[in-house]
Amino acid sequence: MKWLTLNIHSWMEEDTEEKMDILVHYIISSGLDGVSLQEVNQRIDALPEENPLHFVPPINEKTIIKQDNYALCLVKRLAELGEEYHWSWTYSHVGYGIYEEGVAILSKKPLQSQAVLVSSVDKKTDVTRRMMLCSKLTVQDKELFVTSSHYSWWNEETKQGFQDEWTLSKLFLDKLSGFILLCGDFNGPDTIKNETYDLVTKSFVDTFELAEHPSGRYTIPEEIDGWKHTKEQLRIDYIFASEPCQVRSHDVIFDGENYPCISDHYGVVVSIDME
């Protein structure tokens, strides 16, 4: 199984249409089974889409998809080229004052999704409101759960940053019975004694560590939104597994060397043996 996670920074990039074409080409040429996307936006003032193509709403919420929803536009372009992807999306909070920002999952296999509030804040105008999307699918007769999340930074003062969100995430994840791929932007580097990374890897396995020959490492360059004073590249985007598994490959993609950059983040793609 081949899966990509990417903070797509949608509609905030220059030449977004051209960059979407690059993503579409990669999805098709690589034969991806699925994609977890973060910062998947639709304008607040955009018109609703009456019957969004291949959309599977989360079972626990009423979701209004707008005509410019980035994931919808992506799925339409894939369909134009003969590739059908089922998809789900949930709305986390207002972004940049004009967007409904959320997370999405695309899958070649049929999926059933659930939207999970993982912050103590539940006000959509508050940027600290965070949602996790979790999709259930069947791969080679095995039940698989895949997530897409965009977490906050660790906050030592309030304790309501990542540590609070992880506690609520774990309450949900611990109830699942099956193999889990935890994908997304964790806003915590894998540096020595990093609280975010250390907390997650108490329960989940980093697929980077499981791959025999991982290609690339860092997922953001210096100084992007949220990391304005960073003077070095960091790895903050991950695919974790709920248990050790055979990871055939773990590659950083869209970094300017392995495909052009299409976001302020690079992507991570893994190939996992599900047998």
Quote the pTM value: 0.95
SS3 102: strand
Instruction: Put the strands of the sheet holding 86-95 in their side by side order.
Output: 86-95, 99-107, 34-43, 2-7, 267-273, 246-253
Residues 71 and 40: beta-carbon distance below 8 Å? yes
Local confidence pLDDT in tens for the 275 residues of the chain: 999 999 999 998 889 999 999 999 999 999 999 999 999 999 999 999 999 999 999 999 999 999 999 999 999 999 999 999 999 999 999 999 999 999 999 999 999 999 999 999 999 999 999 999 999 999 888 899 999 999 998 876 666 789 999 999 999 999 999 999 999 999 999 987 789 999 999 999 999 999 989 999 999 986 555 555 565 789 999 999 999 999 999 999 999 999 999 999 999 999 999 87
> How many CA atoms does the CB half-sphere of 34 hold within 13 Å?
29
Q: What is the pLDDT of residue 224?
A: 58
Residues 190 and 197: beta-carbon distance below 8 Å? yes
